[in-house]
Chain A
Amino acid sequence: MKTIFYVIQKEFIQVKRNKVMLRMIVMIPLLQMLVLVFAATYDLKNVDIFLVDKDLSSTSRELAGKLEASPFFTINNTSFDPEDGEKELLRNADEMVLVIPRGFERDLIRDDKASLQLLVNAIDGQAAQLGYSYAASVIRDFNKNIIAEWKGLPEFNAPFQINTVSRFWYNSELEYKWYMAPGVLAILVTLIGLFLSGMSLVKEKEQGTIEQLNVTPIKKIQFLTGKLIPFVVIALFDLSFGLLIAKVVFNLPIVGSLWLVFGFGILYLLGILGLGLLISTVADTQQQVMFVTYFFMMIFILMGGIFTPVDSMPHWAQLVNEANPVFHFMKVMRMVVLKGSNFGDLIHEFVALCILGFTFLSLAVWRYRKTA
């Protein structure tokens, strides 16, 4: 027991002396929370529209006014030539071109119907669909208004109509930042844990101190435990720091129990640190650790569902994700923080994280040899 204490003490002193490490421990949560959460937003705002109004009627102007009045759209440019609009799309200056054909108002009055053309830049399919449906709903509202205005008929003149009243649960304002923040926190803990543990053992190899330790009677379980505990503490500190930033800056509602968040945090970290140690038992230099760690981070994060819903990934990818600790932890973070899920809701994640943690840790202990 005492031996472990001496290892922990030594690790903390080494972190304290390492100015780069100290700065990383403070700056990474700050930067990730403040930059990544804002940058990775899917909220639709400020879609630039290029307007081609060939009708120049009061109706067409009213429609343009409606779009401009919505918080999502800005009419950036106008022209009478649709080709100008296409050029703007190509330049990426505008995301949508709305063409109002000549005779729009006239057709609407005379024939009771008229057409509009909406060209959407769909390189980013998701944003395009979102932009299109928002624009379509503005136009639909506008349409209803004219019917009411011109015909003097109330809106509910259609005899049968199903009205859907929807409420968005758990994140009623659809605040994307609230969705992102717990995910970014999961990445943060992963990054810190994986790098700290990956670097520390290989640094001892590079400096030759590992040999000095290997001739001592220290047991490998004592040594590895003593090495891991400080990293668990540091990563949990960063988790709290990140949560605090999210609370203060984004007003993130923390619905669930913080005990659950940190309990799962510890369980998760044991696995991540085990993986970091495993990498550093195999690697000989810090560069090698960097490369391998980076590789795992990329796969874990992109597959883990921070940007894209895992439910819409192909079936095999969802199966692979069962072995992805980031996927489970991110889910736990979102469920507990945003929904207030309790332990009973998280049994699956708990079991998965236990299995992964046990596997990584035992592989690391098995791979770490005092004798070559």
Chain B
Amino acid sequence: MEKVITVRNLVKKFGSFVANDHLNFDVYQGEIFGFLGANGAGKTTAMKILCGLSSPTSGEAKVAGFDIYRETEKVKRNIGYMSQKFSLYEDLTVAENIRFFSGIYGIPPASRKVKQEKLLKDLGLESAKDSLIGSLPLGWKQKLAFSVAIFHDPKIVFLDEPTGGVDPITRRKFWDLIYGAADRGITVFVTTHYMDEAEYCNRVSIMNNGRIEALDTPENLKKQYSAKNMDEVFLKIAR
């Protein structure tokens, strides 16, 4: 399988605090890769480095085949990102947000319109096309933010705690979108707090104090730590 992310000895320090301590892992094309860890374990820091939002202190990483130091702009063309802070423009309508972000990625208006119609239809949000984002319920906003993040068909999409603050049913529906993206061949790199969501991933890594303590499929991890579910695995590692 093709590797779309390779990380070798990645270190990020803030002063004397080590947020990422020699991370090593690979992510393969088309998989859903769960990035787990307690608050402050260093998940978001690592993700921001891979997205080019932050530069590492040392180590190497390639995203979509491009070096994160030297080929930042090429990396950015090939990734999508959805932050834990909801980040579409609240004072623009759904259609205006799509138009703006498509414009930045250089998607021509004709294909934008086709894709936009399909997107809204798939989400069942045709009626919300001209509503301001700020007026929509959180669950809808998150679905839209995800759809906008993959609108330009990136190789990889990074999701930073995408389902914070919504009910289990909405979360379940959100994961349907994630599966849909993975089926289209988009690699999904997702951080989460919810252990039921960890079960949906092909492979998960669990971080603690800036280090990756475990990395495998959910089944193997449960066997390895003789746990009934991911919850127990997580508690055994993070203590």
* Chain B residues whose CB sits within 8 angstroms of the CB of A216 once the complex forms: 76, 101, 104-105
Q: A207-B85, A211-B85, A217-B104 are in contact. List 8 more A-B contacts (CB 8 A).
A: A3-B104, A7-B100, A10-B96, A17-B132, A208-B83, A214-B52, A215-B158, A218-B104
A18 on the B face (CB < 8 A)? yes
The 9 closest A-B pairs by CB, nearest first: A6-B103, A208-B85, A215-B81, A212-B87, A208-B87, A217-B76, A17-B91, A10-B100, A217-B77
- A5, B104: Cα distance in complex, Å: 9
Give residues of chain A (56-84) contacting chain B, Cβ–Cβ below 8 Å. Answer: none
Contact A215 B76 (CB under 8 A): yes
Which residue of the partner chain, among B87, B91, B106, contacts A2 with CB atoms under 8 Å?
A: B106
The A interface, classified by DSSP as helix, strand, loop or mixed, is: helix
Could you tell me the distance in whole angstroms from the C-beta of B56 to the nearest C-beta in chain A?
10
Contact B104 A14 (CB under 8 A): no
Chain B contact residues, CB within 8 Å of chain A: 48, 51-55, 72-73, 76-77, 79-81, 83, 85-92, 96, 99-101, 103-106, 132, 158
A257 on the B face (CB < 8 A)? no
Which residue of the partner chain, among B54, B83, B91, B92, contacts A212 with CB atoms under 8 Å?
A: B83
- A283, B157: Cα distance in complex, Å: 30
A9 on the B face (CB < 8 A)? yes
* Chain B residues whose CB sits within 8 angstroms of the CB of A7 once the complex forms: 100, 104
A–B complex contacts, Cβ < 8 Å, 17 sampled: A2-B103, A2-B106, A6-B99, A6-B103, A10-B96, A13-B92, A17-B92, A207-B90, A209-B89, A212-B101, A214-B52, A215-B76, A217-B77, A217-B105, A219-B73, A371-B53, A372-B48
The B interface, classified by DSSP as helix, strand, loop or mixed, is: mixed
Which residue of the partner chain, among A2, A207, A372, contacts B53 with CB atoms under 8 Å?
A: A372
Contact B81 A6 (CB under 8 A): no
Known: A212-B81, A215-B79. A372 touches B89 (CB 8 A): no
Which residue of the partner chain, among B51, B79, B85, B89, contacts A10 with CB atoms under 8 Å?
A: B89
* Chain A residues whose CB sits within 8 angstroms of the CB of B54 once the complex forms: 371-372
